[in-house]
Amino acid sequence: MLTRRGKPNRTLHFHLGSASHYTIYDAELAGLAMGLHLIKTEKRACCRTMIGTDNQAAIKAVHKELSTPTHILAKDTLRSAKQISKSRGNRRYILTIRWTAGHMGLEGNEKVDEEAKKAAKGQSTTSSLLPNVLRRKLKFSTAALKQRHNMLTKSSWKKSWDNSTRGKRDHLIDLNSPSKHFINLISNHQISRQVTSLISLLKPARIGAAERPWKRPSV
């Protein structure tokens, strides 16, 4: 959404896709691409414009990949920024991309959130009004696909463990097994397999002892 004093806001919507195929990082880069497109297509030139985003990773992507950007949306962002600067023909022109804290009562944030929710529900602006990079289907995010694969793998493994004979016995001792904390504990690369095995044996014994009521020893 592009805001200007004394003029109505200009807004673009784009529904990126499912969270299983794209990450928040991809969505923020798409937002930057649309923001720059709005600035580039603004008829009245100005000497200073600013884009705010609450995703620091997207900002770092633009700054770190100035020479060889790898993400297609980061490439388009840099290309658009150069085109804007060139079209203004003014050495004093300044384009700022800054981090803006979300949900902090800043003017315009609430309106932007409302428009973002519309896009999340599937609303998209006519393709011809969007930047070229968003007029065609974007490739699925490798990071999103890996996250989904890991989630499905862990879910399948946990289900198999819960239904196994050993898993059912283990639940008699610890209902939360296998907890994330315990898995991280025995997955420490700094300890040997022997120590890992001892931890696995001692943990149920310790829990079992803690659950049994204390009795005064007989003399």
Per-residue pLDDT, 152: 92
- Most distant CA pair in the chain: distance in Å? 97
Per-residue pLDDT, 153: 92
The 3-state secondary structure of 41-99 reads CCCCCCCEEEEEECCHHHHHHHHHCCCCCCCHHHHHHHHHHHHHHHHHCCCCCEEEEEE
Domains of the chain with CATH codes: 2-144 (3.30.420), 164-211 (no CATH)
Counting every residue written for the chain, the total comes to 219
Span between the terminal Cα atoms of the chain, in Å: 81
Q: Tell me: the pLDDT tens digits for 106-145? A: 667 778 888 888 988 889 999 999 998 898 888 888 888 9
